[in-house]
Amino acid sequence: MEKFKSIIRDYPFIAFIIAFIILAFVPSVVFTDVYQSHLATLIFVNIVVAAGLNIVKGYCGQVTVGHVGLFAVGSYTAGTLFLYLGLGFWATLPIAIIVTAFFGVAMGIPSFRLEGPYLALATLGGGEAIRLFIENGNFFRSTFGISDIPTPSLMGYNFDSPDRYYFISMTIMIIAVYFSFSILRSGVGRAFMSIREDPICAAAAGINVKKYKILAFILSAMFAGAAGAVYAHMPPGYIHPNNYTVIEMVTFLAMVVLGGLGHIWGGIIGAIVITIVYDLTRPLYKYQLLIFGLTIVLTILFMPKGLGGFIDRYFLEKRFKKKTGTEKTT
Amino acid sequence: MILKTKQLSKSFGGLKAINKVDFELPKNEIRGIIGPNGSGKSTFFNLVSGIYDSDPGSYIEFDGHDITFAPPHEIATYGLSRTFQLLRLYQDMTVIDNVMSGYHTRVPYKFFDAVIGRKKIWDQERAIKEEMMELLSFVGLADYAELNASELSGGQRRLLVLARAIAMKPKLLMLDEPAAGLSPVNVDNLMKIIMQLKEKYGLTLIIIEHILKVVMDTCNSVTVFDHGQKIAEGTPAQVKDDNAVIEAYLGKKMDDEEMRKALAV
């Protein structure tokens, strides 16, 4: 066991390969109908977005409310590339990631001067502007949406149904989570955190604050772009501006907050819980926003570090007690 | 000379916070900076570490680099580290993360290695963590490594800030009131640790401090600021007897006996 642990520690990707294998058997063993595969794909897409949002909001502390705009950029890059050039998934995915990265730079520039609620307002404007631009542009098929975006195929095998597309979304999710883990566990993640805590002190400690802020925005934009492309190519193959409103943004925020801002698992836990709750409460769609708004408020009041922080705390207190023999209750 | 300023000035509106200060600091010296509140000591630190831009005509040189217009993070990479009067602790990070974030300028790997997550990254990260744990046990915080910085007591926070500033292995360490708010016993302990660290890492130190006993006991030389100007410089004994200093601190000239009484707080 010890040896296994040390191997995982040196080569973390082995853990991800194991996770991949386990997840690959889930549809055939656990799922009873196609809808569950579809839900799983949605969870994976949300995990990718939330993992990215956790980098910029949870770790770097930049309050962005325009992330759904970047998600839309990813989707519509994929959609329009198919519409006008007939490109398939394997071409649109990398292009969508790159294009969204550029939009991430634009979204991040206000963070040089603004912070807190002011930055939130600026990015909210950015996100809404992107949606309105799409909604009112004939180039993007305005309110009709883009339909029949093809599912990817690989070596003659077409991932054309939800239970097949599951494998695509899962693979992208695993890769994205792997990248987010290795970034956040390295010195880069620490630099992000110091900027969140105190930008002036971070600068005095040798961290180039502007560079790292933009880097956080670019990284999270790339995650959102990848998620957007995966979302666009999802089996019905239909995207519409209404899928990228402030409501979606609130759900993304709820995921990161509930999972734990600045916790490495934060976005992932939150995305799983919130997507399932979102699906279960579909009959109560009138009250969904209320539910997620309440979730954010209550989490911040009673569990400021989210589920992830809550679990961490439990183990930490146990270890501290064992080490020093004293109780630490704060 | 490790640090040199010429005609260093900074004004906020009409107020001249720092007015034409020429300052020179040889290597391996412990320099104390004293002066009444609002005399420009902290502003001087902020100018040197690049957090404020100095007024035109100023010149700052650190270790052979002209840092007059350099941003703070660049100055830090030359080996200048500082602490803040208000600590600026990373409250929501663990103690060990606090110290490791001070290591930033020495992190050996490149960003893309970190993204890919190669094995050597994790080896190096572990080595950094070990080194930082050593530093933490040196200042006596090893048991608290995994706690949040916000859970430490006032005295422990002072030690943590010190450890964080040392983590980058600076050539020059600037301490802004390191002993503010500490009890006399803790002050002695802190100064002992600072002196040990100085020996261990071969630091040059600048210390702003209001507790005159600390300054007089530990510093090789003292600079006195008042109203943004340097009014005296010299060994502690010289400065103690300087009339301008006595006037700045006590408002009027006194004879020797009275002054000694007032200073020996």
A5 and A83 inside one domain: no
Q: How many angstroms away from the CA of A316 is the closest CA of chain B? A: 8
The span from the CA of B215 to the CA of B222, in Å, is 8
Lowest mean pLDDT among A188-192, A274-278, B146-150, B210-214: B210-214
Confidence category of residue A320, pLDDT binned at 50, 70, 90: confident
Domain chopping of chain B, boundaries: 1-79+171-265, 90-168
pLDDT at A106 over 90: yes
Q: Say yes or no: A238 and A93 in one domain.
A: yes
> Is A327 domain-assigned?
no
With pLDDT > 90 as the criterion, what percentage of chain B qualifies? 72
Is pLDDT larger for residue B163 or for residue A295? B163
Does residue A276 sit within a domain?
A: no
* Interchain CB contacts (distance < 8 Å): A and B: 115
Record: contact A193-B101, CB cut-off 8 A: yes
| Structural domain contains residue A4 | yes
pLDDT tens-digit series, residues A238-276: 999 999 998 899 899 999 999 998 898 888 999 999 999
Q: Which of A2-11, A212-221, A234-243, B243-252 has the highest mean pLDDT?
A: A212-221
Q: Given a cut of 50, is residue A330 above it in pLDDT? A: no
Distance to chain B for A198, nearest Cα, Å: 7
Residues paired with residue A157 on neighbouring β-strands, in sequence order: A154
Average pLDDT over residues A130-159: 90
- Look up the domain containing A24 and give its range: 1-30
Model confidence pLDDT, tens digit, residues B55-78: 999 999 999 999 999 999 999 999
A7, A119: one domain:
no
Contact list in B for residue A204 (CB cut-off 8 A) is 49-51, 72-73, 76, 81-82, 84
CB–CB contact B125 A185 (8 Å)? yes
The rounded Cα B242 to chain-centroid distance in angstroms is 25
Say if the Cβ atoms of B91 and A319 lie within 8 Å. no
Q: Do A22 and A149 fall into the same domain?
A: no
ipTM: 0.90
Same domain as A191, residue A56: yes
Put simply, the answer to whether B143 touches A208 (Cβ < 8 Å) is: no
Q: Mind listing the pLDDT tens digit for each residue in B83-133?
A: 999 999 999 999 999 999 999 999 988 888 888 888 888 889 999 999 999
Report if pTM > 0.90.
Answer: yes
Q: What phi, psi does B15 have (nearest 5°)?
A: -85, 125
The number of domains in chain A is 2
Q: Please check the confidence at residue B253 and state whether its pLDDT lies above 70.
A: no
Same domain? A6 vs A91: no
Domain membership flag for residue A141: yes
Cα–Cα distance for residue pair B83/B102, rounded to 1 Å: 11
A328 pLDDT exceeds 60?
no
Q: What is B1-79+171-265's CATH topology?
A: Rossmann fold (3.40.50)
Alpha-carbon span A69 to A224, nearest angstrom:
9
Say whether both A63 and A146 belong to one domain.
yes
pLDDT at A40 (0 to 100): 95
Residues A20 and A153 in one domain: no
Alpha-carbon distance A322 to nearest alpha carbon in chain B (angstroms): 11
Pairing assessment for the beta strands B15-25 and B30-34 based on DSSP bridges: unpaired
Query: Do A102 and A206 lie in a common domain?
Result: yes
Is A316 in contact with B100 (Cβ distance < 8 A)? no
What confidence score (pLDDT) does residue B57 get? 93
